[in-house]
Structure 1
Amino acid sequence: MTSLSKFSFMAILLSLGVLQGCSKTDQQTTEEKPLRPVRTLVVGAVENANWREFPGTVDAAQKAELGFRVTGKLHSLNVNEGQIVKEGEVLAKLDDTDFLIQLKSRQADYQQAHDDFLRGKSLIGKGVISQSDFSKLQAQDIAAQAALESAQRNLEYTELKAPFGGRIAKRYVENYEEVSAMQPIYALQDISSLLVKVDIPESLMITAQEGTDPEVQALFSSIPGESFPLKLKEVSSRADEATRLFNVTFSMPANPKYNILPGMSVTVRGRPPQAKAQDGAIFVPPQVVQEDGDGRYVWTVSHEGDSTGVVNRRAVTTGAIQNNGIQILSGLEEGDEVVTAGMSKMHSGLQVRLTTEGSK
């Protein structure tokens, strides 16, 4: 091999070595170039938006403390606690012996007074008695009749009857006791319809819209997985001076499947009627939405691996900003992944390293 050929061969080898070294250096530079880290969020549709919960108490729609209207000795107690009674049913009776004697006496007095009145009426026409004497006979007849009617009512009052159908919630006395007029004998509750009472803060009263019917439910810890619809009945117009809370009463139909009784604790869950329209809506943190001359947009992510992806710009239409973020009316769907942090100088097609926050 000539000297020139040897020189050319060595030059080629050196050139290949340099090129290979440069290729390796470029490859290492590419491999070592760090990806921009971004934080992302998987978009989810809102379910049951804007619910608020408050502790409450169940009460009877109608209730009464029942007692006799006259004083006497108990003769019989006909019903026990927890028993269902009908309207007009006799619940208890007093010993009526003295009341019967009183009635007979008043009947005799009235008969005598009425006979005297009838005789006087015939005599005054003949001029036998004066008008003054006749007026006295007439007054005595009226008084005797009133006394008789009072005795009849008192005898009727020896029976304690249910003013409405319901359940006996409590019995306060034992049989054969002496009881006074209007002393409580039974507590009666009508549980065919129930009331749910709850106290709510004045901040919600201020934002409540008059004429709207909020969506409200009753929840019981002993009945998991079920809710019971409530209907607004009345709202107090003045807050409690100590707590600054307003008392709100809802009606709830009795449920034959469950023995829900007055005095039970309940959780009242409610939201304004306009909140239901947001069920299924998509919300994102406000900083996710960017804006330029072409309108509002977000950066979405397409995964290329477990921790890397490519970002792309996507136009969106937005709604109102609320507590849970800004509503996306169009442009995003449930399951889309958006960039929430690291958006500076971003462009479509940029490869990024992902840190996922979760779902919204």
Structure 2
Amino acid sequence: MIRRLALTILVGVALVACREETEVSPPVRPVLSTRVAIDDAGSQGFVGTVEPRDKADLGFQVLGRLMTRAVGIGDLVHTGDVLATLDATTLDLAVRSAEATLGNRRAERENAATTVARVEALRASGTAPEANLEDARTAFDAAGAAVRQAEADLAKARDALVHTEIKAGFDGVVTATGAEPGQTVAAGESVVTIARPDPRDAIIDVPDWMAGALPPGAPFIVAPQIAPNQSVVGHLREIAPEADPLTRTRRLKIDLSGPPDLFRLGSTVEVRADRQTSSTITLPEAAILRRDDGVFVWVIAVDEASRAARREGSVALRPVTTAPAGDGRLRVVSGLSAGERVAIAGVHSLQDGQKVIVPDASGDDRGDAS
């Protein structure tokens, strides 16, 4: 009995030893990583310009030679002011020709009406056939149609004559001119551009990733370059839907509500985002592990104070919430804090609790994951 018990114990010990030999821990491997840093976009300044929100490019509706342009860039205009005129000689002659044509067509209609009355009288006395009466009535109808056409031509000529003047449709300031007196301008070609002084926007271009991280109505600090200490607070009004294909920047329009006189149209301003709303964490997409049960990153526990060339640590899986940031990066909404280290390569080959080696030159304090 004792011998059988001892044999059973020996067999159990052998099985445990075999199991420990088969359960080999994952190898220690080097891993590319970076420390998470808060990217404070509020510390970044952008240079932009003050531009009107509403402006209109005014041109003539007819082809002609520009005779006068009464305004220049920077002039204030009021509703109804005449801004430019065309040479109206040709159009005036066209009106006179149309009036003469209309008089001729009306005379032809009266003559056709007289003919109809005469043929009707002859038909009633039996001295004219029915065909003559039909021909007279057809001629009268044609004369009436010709009169209506001439009237339309005259109205068109008079309308063209009226459009030899450009008038301001609202109070504003001239921001651009497109033609000089003596120049022939086409219909619709811009001659004068006027803009409403208010409301105004500050226009800047920012990196694509930053634009994606800004919430609607985000506050910005806007200051004129000639007086940096006289800043105002503006709010994000519009983000360009697409990035510039060359610079990979997106245009922002920041509403300036009641700015002082220093914020003139066309003036240069410095803009920076409010620090309380601009802080964000972004990571490259390669650092994100997507699985059926969620989105994760590998957080590396390592002695950050050590300056050794190769520091050992371990990885742990951490669930996070992300949002698009553009340019191959994702914004981390929750799950990470500044100062933590995450793996940014090989995320599909790591195991929870695996030992890793972190080289000292793997992005320490460089803000690679900002």
The bucket for the TM-score relative to the shorter chain is 0.5 to 0.7
> Which aligned pairs between 1:274-353 and structure 2 lie closer than 5 A?
none
Write the letter of the residue equivalent to 1:180.
Answer: V
Which stretch has the larger CA shift, 96-105 or 73-82? Answer: 73-82
Residue by residue over 1:257-293, the C-alpha shift from the partner in whole angstroms, topping out at 9 and shown as x without a partner, is 325122x3222222377579xxxxxxxxxx9xxxxxx
- CA drift at 1:106: 0.9
- SS of the equivalent of 2:197 reads strand
- CA drift at 1:103: 1.0
**Is the 1:213–1:273 Cα contact (8 Å) retained in structure 2?**
no
Q: Within 1, Cα distance between the matches of 2:161 and 2:230?
A: 51
Match of 1:300 in 2: none
Q: Within 2, Cα distance between the matches of 1:238 and 1:274?
A: 22
Q: Within 2, Cα distance between the matches of 1:49 and 1:96?
A: 58
Q: Does 1:180 align with 2:172?
A: no
> Which aligned pairs between 1:194-273 and structure 2 lie closer than 5 A?
194-209=200-215, 212-253=216-257, 255=259, 257-258=261-262, 260-262=264-266, 264-271=267-274
Q: Which runs of 5+ in 1 are unaligned?
A: 1-47, 277-286, 288-319, 326-360
**Is the 1:66–1:184 Cα contact (8 Å) retained in structure 2?**
yes
- SS of the equivalent of 1:65 reads strand
Q: Does 1:62 align with 2:90?
A: no
**Is the 1:71–1:180 Cα contact (8 Å) retained in structure 2?**
yes
RMSD value, Cα: 3.6
Q: Which runs of 5+ in 2 are unaligned?
A: 1-39, 121-132, 280-303, 305-334, 341-370
Q: Within 2, Cα distance between the matches of 1:188 and 1:240?
A: 27
**Is the 2:42–2:272 Cα contact (8 Å) retained in structure 1?**
no
Write the letter of the residue equivalent to 2:273.
Answer: G
**Is the 2:112–2:136 Cα contact (8 Å) retained in structure 1?**
no
Write the letter of the residue equivalent to 2:52.
Answer: A
Q: Does 1:83 align with 2:89?
A: no
Match of 1:99 in 2: 91
Residue in structure 1 matching 2:162, options 156, 159, 163: 156
Residue by residue over 1:303-347, the C-alpha shift from the partner in whole angstroms, topping out at 9 and shown as x without a partner, is xxxxxxxxxxxxxxxxx986599xxxxxxxxxxxxxxxxxxxxxx
- CA drift at 1:78: 2.1
Write the letter of the residue equivalent to 1:215.
Answer: P
Write the letter of the residue equivalent to 1:59.
Answer: E
> Which aligned pairs between 1:13-162 and structure 2 lie closer than 5 A?
50=42, 52-117=44-109, 120=112, 127=133, 129=135, 132-162=138-168
- SS of the equivalent of 2:199 reads strand
Match of 1:38 in 2: none
- SS of the equivalent of 2:98 reads helix
Q: Within 2, Cα distance between the matches of 1:139 and 1:272?
A: 74
Report the identity percentage: 24
What is the TM-score normalised by the length of structure 1?
A: 0.54
- CA drift at 1:84: 0.2
- SS of the equivalent of 1:225 reads coil
Aligned length: 234
Write the letter of the residue equivalent to 1:103.
Answer: V
Write the letter of the residue equivalent to 1:140.
Answer: A
Over 3 Å counting, the alpha-carbon distance change for 1:63 and 1:107 in structure 2 is: same
- CA drift at 1:113: 2.3
- SS of the equivalent of 2:244 reads coil
Write the letter of the residue equivalent to 1:141.
Answer: V
- SS of the equivalent of 1:191 reads coil
Q: Within 1, Cα distance between the matches of 2:243 and 2:237?
A: 17
**Is the 2:236–2:255 Cα contact (8 Å) retained in structure 1?**
yes
Over 3 Å counting, the alpha-carbon distance change for 1:217 and 1:123 in structure 2 is: farther
What is the TM-score normalised by the length of structure 2?
A: 0.53
